[in-house]
Structures are given as structure tokens and as C-alpha cells.
Amino acid sequence: MNKPDIPQKSPLVMEVEAGTYFWCSCGKSTNQPYCDGSHKGSDFAPVKEVVTETKRVAWCGCKHSGNGAFCDGSHKAL
């Protein structure tokens, strides 16, 4: 499998409303942290996340988190 691009070495912390989100796993989206279809033709696919209530989240910005779409601090080792 190819390695993802690293759009930034920090999380994207934001308030999100309840809903379904598709997190970019390839790092190529121009709409980070969300998928814009830039992965097409690659081994990557967006990660579906369902948020059940309005809350503050830290989306992974480096695409290397062991916690899926959410930051686990992996960017510190890149």
C-alpha cells in the first residue's frame, strides 16, 4: 500500500455538528480534513465517521494516526 501525503503535522481541531463525515485518508484532498475524491485511482478510500452530537474533535492531519480519523499524537514522530 502507498503511504499517504502529510498535509500537516498537527491535528485539525474543530467544532462539528452531529452528522456523517468522510475523512480524507490519502492526504491529497484540498478540503482537509474531509475527502474531495482526490484518492480516486489510488489504494486509499475515505473513512466514514458518524458524529452523534455537536462536539469538538481533533481530526488527524498527518494521516498516520493509529486512531483512525482522529489524532493520537503520531504527528510528533514524523
Is 11 among the domain residues?
A: no
Nearest Cα to 74, choosing from 55, 57, 59? 59
What is the total count of domains within the chain?
A: 1
Task: Tell me, yes or no, if the pTM score tops 0.85.
Answer: yes
Domain that holds residue 39: 16-77
Q: Which residues of the chain have pLDDT under 70?
A: 1
Residue 28 has what pLDDT? Answer: 97
Is residue 6 assigned to a domain? no
Q: Which three cell numbers stand for residue 9?
A: 503535522
Is residue 2 in a domain? no
pLDDT of residue 21: 98
3-state SS string over the chain? CCCCCCCCCCCEEEEECCEEEEECCCCCCCCCCECCCCCCCCCCCCEEEEECCCEEEEECCCCCCCCCCECCCHHHHC
Within a domain: 60: yes
pLDDT in tens, 23-43: 999 999 999 999 999 999 999
Please report whether residue 24 resides in a domain: yes
